[in-house]
Amino acid sequence: MLARKSLSKKKILLLGGTLALVWGIIGVVVYRNFASKNAPLPSVPIVLPGEPIASVYPVAGAGQRAGLEILRDERLTSLKIFGDVPLEVTALGRENPFELINP
């Protein structure tokens, strides 16, 4: 009959060392990409309800007035209004949307 061959200690140490090295490399790559303390901050700041936007986007020397000063810009005040404002909503579709269109 065929007898099972056992692995030699040299092969077991080589396999174990290779496996440990691969896991170490994976751990370093994961740590550097995901778990690093120097991870970049999100590019979009989060504004909490009730918090002024000027505190999230600080403007040098303008203080809290920056939000209203932007609205007085000439490019915004020279925009034309096309159409009737405010819009009047007349009919909002069919009374029964499930009936046939052409009975």
Gyration radius of the chain's alpha carbons: 34
> How confident is the model at residue 52, as a pLDDT?
65
> How confident is the model at residue 68, as a pLDDT?
72
Q: For 28-39, give one letter per residue: b (16+ CB within 10 A) or e.
A: eeeeeeeeeeee
pLDDT in 10s for each residue of the chain, 103 residues = 677 888 899 999 999 999 999 999 999 998 888 776 665 665 666 667 776 665 555 555 555 555 677 777 788 888 887 877 777 777 777 777 777 776 5
Q: Round to whole Å and give the CA distance between 72 and 79.
A: 12
Distances (CA, A) of 35 to 21, 30, 32, 66: 20, 7, 6, 37
> How confident is the model at residue 61, as a pLDDT?
55
